[in-house]
Amino acid sequence: MTRRTKALAGFAVAAIVINLVPALAEALDTPGFYITFMFTAFFWISQAVSWNILTGYSGYFSFGQGAWFGVGVYTTGVLAAKEGWPFLVALPIAGALAAAFGLGLGLVVFRLRKLSGEIFALTTLAVAFVLASVARLYSFIDGGRGIFMTGTPLPEFLGDFRTAMFRMTFVVAFLTVLAAYLLYESRVGWGLFAIRDDEQVAHGLGVPTFRYKMVALGTNAFFSGLMGGVWALQIGFVTVDDVFNIRVPLFVILMSVLGGMKHWMGPVVGAVIIYTLTDRLNSAGLEDVNQIIIGGLLIFLVLAVREGIYLRMRMRWILTLTVFGTAMAVWTFADLATSLIWDFAYASLITLLAVLLPTRQSVARVLRRGGPATPVEASAAERAST
């Protein structure tokens, strides 16, 4: 059995197990906030992973996540809430329209080589402001009045609202992570890694740089818009200021940098850790210092662990599992916290501190064993062009 076959089998097992969570929670009469916590985590996982497909893989730093997310939110808002379309029909259109906006931008910026680096980042940031103005000006979109999503009918087979949100966000997050993995292991992924390392060298070696960047940007925008379409239901009352803001881009950047941008699994780990810590700080009434604590953590980790937490965890998987399992057991059975989410938060923080201990094992060695190494080490440009 090949490594890819094992990975796909793992995806299938994870999908089956996680899909059983709502039924298990109902059978055990678990409080509903656990389901809410999980589907919000799925939202952030999808956003962080989709952003990383463009920025982490190709090196093109983007602030466009808020724009693609906003397009998805307003697409389902207009079609499902205003026009009365079935929600599950409007949802894929949300992803497709976000991808269309992303690819339209790519047709311009990727043809002009001067629009790279910080210029590309600022261009993607400007797109969100332009779209916000368009939504505010035109009444058939928003017109400054907002859109009520409450009462939008959902198919009965999805269950109640919490269960429906869990299932829809999980499906989108699962597909996003699967797409990130398949790209990571493909020739397109090797080409994107080569672009990240040196685009001119990659182009000279025959890598179709424009096509690969368009694939990355289109995939990023599609999944961000698709999850935005789902998340419109959770927002309830959609307004321009709540949708087209800097919060989503900044959080996905934070999550991806923390987890590690050079591996498909890094943003998943980063999203879970950051969202858990943020949720617990907010629940403890520390909303005012939340951003200070998370920002300070990011600064420390960027300086101390540039490759991200996931690769450290992978290098020390025995230590990671042992520390996390022990901490969860102690906090749970000793009843030191008020909920399992607090137990998970404390265990994650302790594990995070444990894996930060100095190590002699190189990250490049781990990458060579478990997936593509850095482009220089693995000659990614040559592999992508053959």
Which tens digit of pLDDT belongs to each residue from 73-101? 999 999 999 998 999 999 999 999 999 99
Q: Using the CB atoms, write b or e for 46-68: b if 16+ within 10 Å.
A: bbbbbbbbbbbbbbbbbbbbbbb
Residue 194 pLDDT: 93
Q: What whole-number distance in Å separates Cα of residue 338 and Cα of residue 344? A: 11
Q: Does residue 51 belong to any structural domain of this protein? A: yes
Residue 53 pLDDT: 96
Do residue 75 and residue 189 come from a single domain?
Answer: yes
- The last residue of one of the domains, among 245, 269, 287, is 245
The three-class DSSP label of residue 335 is coil
Residue 89 pLDDT: 95
Residue 264 pLDDT: 93
The more confident residue out of 284 and 348 is: 348
Q: What whole-number distance in Å separates Cα of residue 227 and Cα of residue 99? A: 12
Is the model's pLDDT at 214 over the cut of 60? yes
Do residue 265 and residue 215 come from a single domain?
Answer: no
DSSP secondary structure of 355-366: HTS---S-HHHH
Q: What whole-number distance in Å separates Cα of residue 354 and Cα of residue 189? A: 31
Do residue 118 and residue 254 come from a single domain?
Answer: no
Is the model's pLDDT at 364 over the cut of 80? no
Q: Does residue 12 belong to any structural domain of this protein? A: no
Rounded to 10 degrees, the C-alpha dihedral 161/277/220/199 comes to: -170
Residue 380 pLDDT: 57
Of 223, 233, 225, 229, give the one whose Cα is nearest residue 175: 223
- The last residue of one of the domains, among 245, 264, 298, is 245
- The last residue of one of the domains, among 245, 269, 302, is 245
- Residue 137's CB is within 10 A of a number of other CB atoms, namely 12
- Residue 161's CB is within 10 A of a number of other CB atoms, namely 15
Q: From residue 241, give the alpha-carbon distance in Å to each of 57, 105, 127, 142, 186.
A: 30, 23, 15, 11, 39
Structural domain span for residue 304: 247-371
Of 17, 16, 15, 35, give the one whose Cα is nearest residue 25: 35
Q: Does residue 379 belong to any structural domain of this protein? A: no
Q: Does residue 167 belong to any structural domain of this protein? A: yes
pTM of the model: 0.90
H or E element in which residue 148 lies: strand 147-148
Do residue 194 and residue 343 come from a single domain?
Answer: no
Residue 255 pLDDT: 92
The more confident residue out of 145 and 295 is: 145
Do residue 309 and residue 239 come from a single domain?
Answer: no
Do residue 226 and residue 271 come from a single domain?
Answer: no
Contacts for 77-84 with beta carbons within 8 Å, 24 or more apart?
Answer: 77/147, 77/149, 77/232, 77/238, 78/140, 78/141, 78/147, 80/149, 80/152, 80/232, 81/147, 81/148, 81/149, 81/152, 81/232, 82/140, 82/147
Number of domains in the chain: 2
Helices 3-19 and 161-184 pack at an angle, to 10 degrees, of: 170
Residues 202, 229 contacting (CB under 8 angstroms)? no
What does pLDDT average to over the chain? 86
Rounded to 10 degrees, the C-alpha dihedral 230/233/238/242 comes to: -70
Radius of gyration of the chain (CA): 21
Do residue 234 and residue 301 come from a single domain?
Answer: no
Q: Does residue 380 belong to any structural domain of this protein? A: no
Q: What whole-number distance in Å separates Cα of residue 91 and Cα of residue 298? A: 34
Do residue 183 and residue 56 come from a single domain?
Answer: yes
Which tens digit of pLDDT belongs to each residue from 297-327? 777 777 777 788 898 888 888 999 999 999 9
Do residue 174 and residue 234 come from a single domain?
Answer: yes
Do residue 105 and residue 123 come from a single domain?
Answer: yes
DSSP secondary structure of 175-233: HHHHHHHHHHTSHHHHHHHHHHHHHHHHHHTT--HHHHHHHHHHHHHHHHHHHHHHHHH
Which tens digit of pLDDT belongs to each residue from 97-126? 999 999 999 998 888 766 667 788 888 989
Do residue 140 and residue 286 come from a single domain?
Answer: no
As a whole number, mean pLDDT of residues 157-166 equals 92
Q: pLDDT band for position 382 (50/70/90)?
A: low
Residue 359 pLDDT: 61
Query: What percentage of the chain exceeds 90 in pLDDT?
Result: 48
Is the model's pLDDT at 178 over the cut of 50? yes
Q: Does residue 150 belong to any structural domain of this protein? A: yes
Is the model's pLDDT at 186 over the cut of 80? yes
Query: What percentage of the chain exceeds 70 in pLDDT?
Result: 90
Residues 218, 262 contacting (CB under 8 angstroms)? no
Residue 252 pLDDT: 93
Report the amino acid identity of residue 184. Y
The more confident residue out of 280 and 1 is: 280
Q: Does residue 237 belong to any structural domain of this protein? A: yes
Q: Does residue 25 belong to any structural domain of this protein? A: no
Which tens digit of pLDDT belongs to each residue from 37-75? 999 999 999 999 999 999 999 999 999 999 999 999 999
Is the model's pLDDT at 204 over the cut of 90? no
Do residue 37 and residue 181 come from a single domain?
Answer: yes
Residues 214, 40 contacting (CB under 8 angstroms)? no
Is the model's pLDDT at 356 over the cut of 50? yes
H or E element in which residue 147 lies: strand 147-148
